[in-house]
Amino acid sequence: MATVQGFMFPRTSTGQSSLVPPPPWHYSGSMLTLEYRTDPAEVAAMLPDPLEPADEDPGAVAVIWADWQSCSDTGGELLDPIRSQYMEVFLVARCKYQGQHYSRCLAIWVDRDYAMVRGHHQGYPKKLGSAYLTRPVTVGKAGPRLQTGGQFGATLAAYDRRLIEATFTITDTSDDAGFVNALPMIHNRWMPAIESDGSDSLDELVTMSGFDAEIGRTFTGDCTISFGDSPVEELQRLAPKEMIGGYWREVGVSWRQGTTLERVVPSVVASSGEAD
């Protein structure tokens, strides 16, 4: 019998087929962050115990488009760019755990399977979707310049339904990219037990943050955002009531590991069988 290898499934005798290579993982790209306020009660309803709403501005939410290029330490993915380039859109609120404030991903969509499974390992509730974000240009007319007046559009769709439409217009440079997504992340890692009896074989509360972060050009501006409807999404619960502001930023960061804050140890289910 062969000894199998690989960070994630599928694990084989060589480990070559693993969907995700072992960390550290490195990310470079641009992010459009649009902040707004919604009903604080709806944000609170999406925070599982023992998380609590943030002390200040508990209804603040950020919707973020991220245009990423990522790789492992080998960098081999960069020479096969379909394995390194992807888009994702996620909604973030802030919350509190044992007196400390965190950022919490409420929903997230991504357009590559490896990025989805990599996120599942970290605790992000990633689903497949289709995301687009206008890219800035330095030559020609087919795109905005990174300067006052530059206009961007951003969209998200899933299961053939347009979920989010947004616009952003640069008004000035900025020293920051908002406050909602500016804290360590806190996630739940869940996996239902194979018995499908309502219990979980994996139930952890974890936190994480990156390292070797680099910040590039950052701009602020005016923005608009609207949510569409879907029978399998809950975005309407978080519909904007007041816009706060928008930000476009270049960013690079690496990730290696997180920290388990709480772990529920599953009970062992005895195997059953018939007597001879």
For the chain (276 residues), the mean pLDDT of every run of 10, in chain order, is 92 94 97 98 98 98 98 97 98 98 98 98 98 98 98 98 98 98 97 96 96 97 97 96 98 98 79 49
pTM of the entire predicted model: 0.94
Element (H, E) at 25: strand 25-37
Q: Any idea what the Cα angle at residue 71 is, between residues 208 and 255, rounded to 5°?
A: 15
Q: Do 238 and 106 contact (CB within 8 A), yes or no?
A: yes
Q: Which pLDDT value is given to residue 1?
A: 77
- Phi, then psi, of 178 in degrees rounded to 5: 95, 180
Distances (CA, A) of 81 to 84, 109, 128: 5, 20, 19
Give every CB contact of residue 178 below 8 A, 6+ residues apart in sequence: 33, 35, 62, 244, 245, 247
In the chain, how long is the greatest CA-to-CA distance?
81
Confidence (pLDDT) at 103: 98
Per-residue CA distances from 144 to 32, 165, 169 (Å): 14, 18, 9
DSSP at 12: B
Residues 2, 70: Cα–Cα separation, whole Å: 31
The pLDDT, as a whole number, for residue 122 is 98
| Domain boundaries along the sequence of the chain | 25-263
Which superfamily is assigned to 25-263 in CATH? Acetoacetate decarboxylase-like (2.40.400.10)
What pLDDT shows up at residue 268?
Answer: 61
Residue 158 is predicted with a pLDDT of: 98
